[in-house]
Amino acid sequence: MDEKANRYTGRKAPGRPGQLIGGTLDDTIKVEANLLHDHVCQALADPKRIVILYLLAEGPQNVGEIAEALDSPQSTVSRHLKVLRDRSLVTTERDGATVVYSLADRRIIQALDLMRAMVMSSLNEQARLAQQLS
C-alpha cells in the first residue's frame, strides 16, 4: 500500500486527515476524533437530545415548547439543552423573559439523517438474512 494511502480505501488522499503515513494514522485524525467525541458524540449519547435537535430543525423553540413536545419535565429538558448548548450544537436568544433555542448548525441534522439511514440499512439487511434462514 502506498505510504500516503487512505486508511479506508487504500488510495492516495493527499492533504486529507486520516492518511496512513508509514503504517500509522497521522495525528490530525486522532485529534479530530477526540474533538468529535467530546463535542458531538457525548451530546448525542441520550436519545432525547437527538429528538430535541430534530425539534429545533423545525424552527426555534423555548424550553416549554420542547418539554411539551417530549412530554418531559422542563427541568429535564433544560439539562439536555445545557449539554447541547455547552457543546455548541444549539444557540440561545432572549425574547423578553423567554430563552429561545435554535440549531447552531443544520449540518448536524444531515449527519443524524445519514446515521439513521445506515442503521435502517443494517436492520433491513439483518431482517433479509433472518428471512432467508427461516
Q: How many CA atoms lie within 13 A of 83 on its CB side?
A: 19
C-alpha cell at 63: 424550553
Rounded CA separation 9/107 (Å): 25
Residue type present at position 44:
L
pLDDT for the residue 2: 43
Rounded CA separation 130/19 (Å): 37
- For domain 47-103, give the CATH number: 1.10.10.10
Q: Where are the domains of the chain?
A: 1-41, 47-103
Question: What pLDDT tens digit does each residue of the chain (134 aa) get?
Answer: 444 444 444 444 455 555 555 556 778 888 888 988 888 999 999 999 999 999 999 999 999 999 999 999 999 999 999 999 999 999 999 999 999 999 999 999 999 999 999 999 999 999 999 999 88
